[in-house]
Structure 1
Amino acid sequence: MPMTPINPSAFPAPIAPYSAGTRADNVIYVSGTLALGEGGVVLHVGDAAAQTRHILEVIRTVIEVAGGNLADVAFNHIFLKDWADYPAMNAVYAEYFPGAKPARFCIQCGLVKPDCLVEIASVAHLAG
């Protein structure tokens, strides 16, 4: 099965050896996404809502570059540094998925950078 990496040109270089997303047939896999800027600088330090918004905008862009949209998202993997940020993340998340909700899970764990509060990875299925 051919796979196509998805790395929108406007994005900063990844902080590790991965692509922002991969398209395999009609499935788009979006890597775990953090609120990072150029050089891996954490954006919106201390603000889980702003980090979630940034992350979901990045995910939207990756999916759109691959030919889809957020309505194609079937599953989200959500990682929180602290459960206290769950309500803020959920409030923003609900704005991005107003219709049929994708399946998801949410866990608390350490993230790759100490100032990151939220990480989300997505799987989208395009009409075939």
Structure 2
Amino acid sequence: MQITRTFSGASWESTVGYCRAIKAGNHIYVSGTTAVAEDGSVFAPGNAYAQAKRCFEIVKQALQNLNADIHNVTRTRMYVTDISLWAEFGKAHQEFFAENPPASTMLEVNSLIDSAMLIEVEVDAVCLD
């Protein structure tokens, strides 16, 4: 089975020892993705919708790096620090996946690695190529 990895360039990938996403055969697994700005800071602190949208943009880029796209996504997991903001997270999710909705889970967690982060997303995808 062929395995291909893609990296986002985030410093913690090498520090912790992981990649943004890995394609194993026709399956793609995208690591937990938070709303990180280009400079490494937290993107849009306090804005649930903007953070979720940024997460999905990063995921989309990782998928494209592995010759896939949003339509290949079969499952999403959203770990959120405030479930009362579910509609804002859900709006961003719907904008990315409306045409090809995946199985999805949203869970409230106590915290993420940075207290300004409101959401972390994991994605699984399947390619038929």
Q: TM-score, normalised by structure 2?
A: 0.90
In the alignment, the residues of structure 1 paired with residue 97 and residue 43 of structure 2 have an alpha-carbon distance, to the nearest angstrom, of 23
**Residues 29, 124 of structure 2: 8 Å contact kept:** yes
Cα RMSD for the two superposed structures? 1.6
1:101 equivalent in alignment to 2:101: yes
Question: Tell me, which stretches of 5 or more residues in structure 2 are unaligned?
Answer: none
Aligned to 2:11: 13
What is the aligned partner in structure 1 of residue 120 from structure 2? 119
Deviation of 1:38 (Å): 5.1
CA distance in structure 2 between the aligned counterparts of 1:124 and 1:92, rounded to whole angstroms: 18
Give how far 1:84 is off: 1.8
CA contact (8 A) 1:75 1:102 kept: yes
Identity across the alignment (%)? 24
Q: Which residue of 2 aligns with 1:84?
A: 84
Aligned to 1:52: 52
Other structure's SS at 2:12 match = coil
**Aligned with 1:101: secondary structure?**
coil
Contact 1:27 / 1:123 at 8 angstroms: preserved in 2? Answer: yes
Q: Which moved more, 1:11-20 or 1:102-111?
A: 11-20
Q: State the alpha-carbon separation in 2 of the partners of residues 68 and 55 from structure 1.
A: 17
Structure 1 residue 117, shift from structure 2 partner: 0.3
CA drift of 1:39 comes to: 6.2
| 1:83 alignment partner AA | I
CA contact (8 A) 2:33 2:55 kept: yes
Is the CA contact (8 Å cut-off) linking 2:68 and 2:127 kept in structure 1? yes
Partner of 1:34 in structure 2? 34
Specify every segment of 5 or more residues in structure 1 that has no aligned partner in the other structure, as ranges. Answer: none
Amino acid at match of 2:128: A
Structure 2 distance, partners of 1:44, 1:17, is 26
